[in-house]
Amino acid sequence: MKYEELTSKYPEFIYHNYTVDEQDDGIKVTYHFETVGLTHFYPIWVFPKNGMDTTDETVQEFLFSIGMVELISYWKAACPPHVRVLCGYLSETQKAWWKKLYFHGLGEFFYTNGIETNMDSFMTIDALDESHKRTVSPKADLCGCMVPVGGGKDSIVTLHILSRCSQTDFGCFMMNHRNSAFASAMLAGCRPEDVYRPRRQLDRTIVDLNRQGFLNGHTPLSALIAFAASFAAYVTGRRYVVLSNESSANEASVAGSSVNHQYSKSFAFEKDFADYLAAYLPCGVTYFSLLRPLSEIQIAAIFAQLKEFHPVFRSCNAGNAGKNFDTWCLNCSKCLFVTLILSPFLSDDAIKEIFRINLLDSADETMRLYFEQLIGLHETKPFECVGSVDEINFALCQAIKKRQAAGAPLPRLLDYYSGLPLYAVYKDEPNRYADYFDEVNLIPDQFKETVRQCARECQW
């Protein structure tokens, strides 16, 4: 269906309310959204109780805010230009903040659906007046860290660095269950009772609408995690929400544009969210990414040394859906990227131990296309969480040098790369990443030196 047709036919979206019910297994929160004239949506979250006081206005403001992110997954089906919020107050500044998140967080969605719009015109937001404003109160005794863990290498590196800091008291946040995430947390020394694991349940009506041809595409999931993990930190008494987003996440997915698959992992969003917490949810929780000063290749260099995690980590999104739950699908750009970024630091045999095969030795044409997108031969990078074009090219050159020095044959894609003009451009580049440290970050001082030290210890 066409964007213009849908916005004309369905001009209004309503965030009606949310209901909170205490159950044996947790606190059930049911959100009520409506695309007027089309359908209602009732997604559900179930949060661990953890002594939660659901009458606390700070708790209520967090639950309301989680709904503000959740709604975008349902709004996008028809993109109604007018959004009415009937269960919470938003100032004009807050409305502008949410519009910015929605617009940039949906950049990939707009691009892949061929939608031409702008931040001023794509949406208006109305909300309740100031008499409905909640009073948010900080907790004075917050301490320790809450680390979102998805099962990939980045959050494992964050846990490793934290284990070396004087601040070692941490819990792990996991949205829904993933074996790799839980196994990684346990290996890192987290106790089972310190895992905070809410369950998120989509309303399947949105799946039916997608099948009928309504609009579909990427939404800013990391923004949802930002609010939910900060909520988890608040109710469990943790001071810091410690993300694992690196400097490479700032690079656009489409050359020459602001379209970024990783917008809600970028520093721009990190700063915006930290500011939002301070201004509108001043509960005492601090949000930052521990890996922001580092590049993907530095993270890979650190992770390559953490061999005990190699059998359990998973970074593949396609392999976390359907029958292939918690596996490497070995058929997507993310699997190829993880193989590629580890290749300067691991032998081909070590790579095969992790993935069963070496995707850099693939003869598949689709894998060749992904490879070309990753190295910058196409306008668009894969819409996945992958490294920057420069560091990917640098990683490939390092991988080739390592194999040539060992007298080992080059896998097919490395051999293909060695014949490209790009290889001549990058092969003699000095190692800019060995001492790379992006000073544009929000890391509290007590963590910074440990991050620097772990980066210095990389075995290049």
Please write the tens of the pLDDT for every residue from 417-435.
999 999 999 999 999 999 9
Q: d(Cα 210, Cα 132) in Å, to the nearest integer?
A: 35
354 and 218, same domain (yes or no): no
Check whether residue 215 and residue 305 sit in a common domain: no
Choose the final residue of a domain: 254, 289, 324. 289
- Per-residue b/e over 135-145, b at no fewer than 16 CB within 10 Å? ebeebeebebb
| pLDDT value, residue 266 | 98
**Closest Cα to residue 100, out of 251, 276, 250?**
276
Residue ending a domain, among 289, 312, 334, is: 289
Q: Is residue 259 part of a domain?
A: yes
Alpha-carbon distance of 349 to 357, in angstroms, equals: 9
| 266 and 318 together in one domain | no
Q: Provide the pLDDT for residue 232.
A: 98
How many angstroms separate the Cα of 242 from the Cα of each of 57, 277, 352, 443? 24, 14, 31, 9
pTM across the whole model: 0.96
Burial class (CB in 10 A: 0-12, 13-18, 19+), 116: exposed
Alpha carbon distance 189, 182 (integer Å):
11
- For residues 240 and 342, membership in a common domain is answered with no
Q: How far is residue 34's CA from residue 80's CA, in Å, rounded to a whole number?
A: 10
pLDDT beneath 70: ranges in the chain: 167-168, 322-324
What does the pLDDT read at residue 326? 83
Q: What pLDDT was estimated at residue 254?
A: 96
Partners of 355 in the β-ladder:
none
Residues 273, 417 share a domain? no
Name, in order, each residue with C-beta under 8 angstroms of 270's C-beta and a sequence gap of 6 or more: 243, 245, 287, 288, 289, 292, 442
Domain assignment present for residue 441? The answer is: no
**150 three-class SS:** coil
Contacts with 307 (C-beta within 8 Å, 6 or more apart), sequence order:
none
Indicate whether 85 and 226 sit together in one domain. Answer: yes
For residue 453, tell me if it sits in a domain.
Answer: no
Residues in the chain: 460
Given this model, what pLDDT does residue 167 score?
Answer: 60
Q: Does 109 share its domain with 237?
A: yes
* H/E stretch holding 365: helix 365-374
Range of the domain at 209: 3-149+175-289
How many structural domains comprise the chain? 2
SS3 (DSSP) at 43: coil
- Tell me: do 313 and 218 sit in the same domain: no
Co-location of 131 and 236 in the same domain: yes
Determine the Cα–Cα distance for residues 387 and 394; give it in Å rounded to an integer: 11
pLDDT digits (tens, 9 = 90+) for 141-165: 999 999 999 999 999 999 999 999 8
Flag whether 38 is in a domain: yes
Residue 460's Cβ-side half-sphere holds a number of Cα atoms within 13 Å equal to 17
Task: Give residue 317's pLDDT.
Answer: 87
In a domain, 366, yes or no: yes
Residues 137 and 249 in one domain: yes
Query: Which parts of 237-322 fold into alpha helices (H)?
Result: 267-280, 296-304
Domain end position, chosen among 289, 320, 344: 289
Q: Contact 260/266 with Cβ under 8 angstroms?
A: yes
The whole-number pLDDT of residue 323 equals: 58
Q: Does residue 154 form part of some domain?
A: no
454 located within any domain: no
Is 165 part of any domain?
no
Core vs surface per residue 313-335: b (16+ CB within 10 A) or e: bbbbebbbeeeeebbbebbbbbb
Are residue 108 and residue 218 in the same domain, yes or no? yes
Shared domain check, 189 and 333: no
pLDDT of residue 168: 67
